[in-house]
Amino acid sequence: MFLGIDHLVIAVADPDDAAAQLERQLGLAATGGGRHEAMGTFNRLVWLGDSYLELIGVFDRALAERSWIGAPTLRTLDAGGGLATWAIATDALEVDLTRLRNIGSDLGDSIAGERRRADGAIARWRLAAPQALGPSEPPFLIEHDPTSAEWTPAERAARAALPHPIGGPVRLEALELLVDDVPRTIQRFARTAGLRFRPSLAGGGSRDGDVGRQIVRLRPRRGGSGSAVVRLTAPVADERAPELLGCRWVVRPAG
């Protein structure tokens, strides 16, 4: 079963520098990260409850070019950085994979992954990705190992109340993707991930799809830069919307 938007993969030249920018300009703190030794990538994580931002960089281009996540990361970096791809969390990956393949999904076989944190603890997961990954392509699916680092009940409870420098907990409300062809994108998302869309209250030809309690919005691209808008809720008095790391960030008051 789909649980929600798991994480956003944001390609950056230097994850540490990107983390510092997010803290300085948005009041979001990166509290984790590590290396994907076999894939040539490394990251810093910004936790938003059980969703998170993955600020991903490359330490070995040759390895990254051959890895499933390194390749879209490099393409995005070569284009200036920003959202490279994103993931949906599931608690039954194989069940969802069978269900989606029965309706024609191009999701690949599930594969195991892991990341070693700076403290030596290992986070583990299984995932299934479509043939093409990109900021306007369908997401991949991921199921975390609840016995590994970051996903035990104690660690999940601790980050649920994690106070960011902005003034308290922050949550991911919606991911807005700027796409060239909304109808064709809807078809791809439906076929690959089984997502369904409806007219958005945002108007302008946008369409919204539910992922758990969160929303993925497809908005027609009409000039401008960037490929995504990240919508967050936080304990702030007024809405703010800076441009940062190749994305637009909209932070509105929680309530």
Query: Which of 22-26, 60-64, 222-226 is least confident?
Result: 222-226
- Residues 197 and 185: their CA atoms lie apart, in Å, by 10
Strand partners, 219: 178
- On whether the CB atoms of residues 116 and 34 are closer than 8 A, the answer is yes
- Residues 54 and 194: their CA atoms lie apart, in Å, by 24
pTM value? 0.95
Q: What is the DSSP secondary-structure string of 74-108?
A: HHHHHTT-EEEEEEEEES-HHHHHHHHHTTT----
Statement: residue 84 has pLDDT above 70: yes
Cβ neighbours for 214, distance < 8 A, ≥ 6 positions apart: 4, 5, 51, 172, 173, 174, 175
> What percentage of the chain carries pLDDT values higher than 70?
98
Arithmetic mean of pLDDT, 23-36: 91
> What percentage of the chain carries pLDDT values higher than 90?
86
Selected residue with higher pLDDT from 36 and 8: 8
What confidence score (pLDDT) does residue 117 get?
82
Cα atoms in the Cβ-side hemisphere of radius 13 Å centred on 139? 24
pLDDT in tens, 126-180: 999 998 999 999 999 999 999 999 999 999 998 888 899 999 999 999 999 999 9
What confidence score (pLDDT) does residue 105 get?
97
The domains of the chain, with CATH numbers, are 171-253 (3.10.180.10)
- On whether the CB atoms of residues 150 and 137 are closer than 8 A, the answer is no
152 DSSP assignment: S
- Residue 216's identity, in one-letter code, is V
pLDDT in tens, 222-243: 866 567 999 999 999 999 999 9
Statement: residue 114 has pLDDT above 80: yes
What confidence score (pLDDT) does residue 224 get?
60
Cβ neighbours for 20, distance < 8 A, ≥ 6 positions apart: none
Residues in the chain: 255
